[in-house]
Structure 1
Amino acid sequence: MGIRDIIDGKKQWRAHQARVKALPRDYQIVYHEIQKYFFKVGPVDLVDGPLLPGIVDFFVEGAAAGKGVLELVGTDVAAFCDDLVKDTRTYAEVYQESRAQKPDATGK
């Protein structure tokens, strides 16, 4: 990854964040909660994948249709997130796999 890739990635991230800031306030709050959740346990390809931009697209359409954000995602935001990544490897799974492969402290 060269410096140009890093600069382009930052530009894309800033453009993405500008789209989030253009959403209604309640959508922004829910988006940031989703983002926090995914950064903790989310899919391995979160940064390079289409998941976060797809959520913003979904929210833009919902806001344009006059729907409340909870009408789109439901009242359990974590369950909504889990449904989105149910068939994707997550950082939590990678961690669990790495722990399962290491021998315990006694060397057994």
Structure 2
Amino acid sequence: MGIQDIIEGKRQWRAHVARVKALPPDYQIVYREMQRYLFKVGPIDLSDGRLLTGIVDFFEEGAASGKGVLQLIGNDVAAFCDDLIKDSRTYADIYQESLGSPPLSS
């Protein structure tokens, strides 16, 4: 990874954060909770940015249509996140495999 890649990554992240800050306050709160949860659970492909960008796209559409954030995702943020990543490998899966244990989700 060269310096140009790092600069581009920072530029993209700042643009992403600006989009989140443009959302209504309730959407911002839920987004931050989702982000915190996803960073903790650790889907491997989270770093490519598509999941978080897709969430912001979804939230922007919901806000534009006048819906409340809980109308879009329901009352259980963790369950919504789990559904988003149900087919993704997580760092927890890799750790379980390294111990020779069966995966936690099946």
With the length of structure 1 as denominator, give the TM-score of the two structures: 0.89
Matches within 5 A, 1:1-108: 1-100=1-100
Larger Rg computed on CA atoms:
1
Q: Which runs of 5+ in 1 are unaligned?
A: 102-108
- Rounded to whole Å, the distance in 1 between the matches of 2:82 and 2:20 is 21
Q: After the TM superposition, which parts of structure 1 deviate over 3 Å for at least 4 consecutive aligned residues?
A: none
Larger % of helix: which? 2
- Rounded to whole Å, the distance in 2 between the matches of 1:33 and 1:92 is 19
Check the 8 A contact 1:41/1:91 in 2, yes or no. yes
- Rounded to whole Å, the distance in 1 between the matches of 2:8 and 2:57 is 21
- SS across alignment from 2:45: coil
- SS across alignment from 1:46: helix
Give identity over the alignment, percent.
Answer: 75
CA RMSD of aligned residues (A): 1.1
Q: Which runs of 5+ in 2 are unaligned?
A: 102-106
